[in-house]
């Protein structure tokens, strides 16, 4: 009986982190409505940390479940779909009129489609098909923090930011290949040089988080189309080689 209670208590842990992810999404929405855009952006980033940890903890403790997967997707839709779309709309897109709310809505619905495709996909490779919704949300968040850090008004750049929202929406439902961090584990041994590199990255981010996060997420978003072109180029070369060899 005691072992059974311990087993049940372990299942609570990853779902508790998922609940904290959902809370961050809710807090971000309320902060955005109150025009506290930086607070709203930071809340989404914290939610991303909880989203990363809940899956890691569930796999490390062997407590993954169908309920946890579905609950995680619902929390992700709020924190990384609805919250960033509302944040961007109230921060800059509202002044663009109908295109602004259309872009915000498209981001939310493409995020939902991205989550649905991920849940029904049987792929277990090292790549994602389409931009993950947490990364798309983090790109929006990094833009808000970047502008805030430099003291820039988003109004002169609203058309660029409008295009960014449409581009992120497209990337989420595209077939672009993005590198997955699912196989990265915090519970396994790490070589010393990798540990030093990780510490240096964390120190760099801590020094200028708003600027470096913007650079990091921009590179990740762009990496999808670039990797897809590279894979397509190599696959064509392989096909041409097989034809030349008579296969």
Q: How many residues does the chain have?
A: 247
What is the rounded radius of gyration, in angstroms, for the C-alpha atoms of the chain? Answer: 20
Query: What per-residue confidence (pLDDT) applies to 153?
Result: 94
Give the pLDDT band of residue 1 (cuts 50, 70, 90).
very low
Q: How far is CA 7 from the centre of its chain?
A: 30
Tokens 């809940």 correspond to what residue?
Answer: 54
Q: Where are the domains of the chain?
A: 2-244
- Which CATH number does 2-244 carry? 1.20.120.1760
Phi, psi values for residue 58, rounded to 5°: -65, -40
Q: What pLDDT digit, counting tens, does each position of 204-220 carry? A: 777 888 889 999 999 99
Name the E strands within the chain.
127-129, 177-179
| Residue 26: C-alpha distances to residues 29, 75, 107, 247 (Å) | 5, 10, 17, 57
DSSP structure class, residue 185 = -
Q: What pLDDT digit, counting tens, does each position of 82-117 carry? A: 999 999 999 999 999 999 999 999 999 999 999 999
Tokens encoding 130:
């389409």
* Residues near 146 by beta carbon (within 8 Å), at least 6 away in sequence: 210, 211, 213, 214
């Amino acid at each position: 009986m005691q072992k059974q209670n311990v087993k049940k208590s372990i299942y609570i842990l990853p779902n508790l982190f998922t609940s904290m992810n959902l809370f961050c999404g809710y807090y971000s929405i309320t902060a955005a409505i109150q025009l506290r855009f930086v607070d709203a952006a930071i809340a989404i980033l914290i939610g991303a940390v909880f989203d990363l940890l809940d899956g890691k903890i569930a796999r490390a403790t062997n407590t993954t479940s169908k309920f946890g997967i579905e609950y995680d997707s619902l929390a992700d839709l709020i924190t990384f779909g609805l919250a960033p779309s509302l944040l961007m709309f109230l921060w800059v897109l509202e002044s663009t009129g109908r295109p602004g709310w259309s872009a915000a809505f498209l981001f939310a619905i493409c995020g939902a489609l991205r989550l649905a495709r991920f849940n029904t996909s049987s792929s277990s490779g090292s790549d994602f098909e389409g931009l993950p919704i947490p990364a798309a949300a983090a790109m929006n968040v990094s833009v808000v923090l970047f502008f805030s850090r430099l003291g820039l008004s988003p109004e002169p750049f609203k058309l660029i930011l409008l295009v960014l929202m449409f581009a992120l929406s497209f990337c989420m439902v595209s077939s672009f290949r993005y590198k997955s961090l699912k196989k990265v584990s915090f519970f396994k041994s790490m070589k010393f040089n990798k540990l030093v590199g990780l510490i240096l990255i964390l120190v760099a981010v801590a020094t200028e988080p708003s600027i470096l996060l913007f650079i990091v997420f921009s590179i990740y978003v762009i990496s999808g189309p670039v990797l897809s072109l590279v894979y397509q180029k190599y696959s064509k070369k392989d096909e041409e080689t097989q034809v030349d060899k008579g296969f």
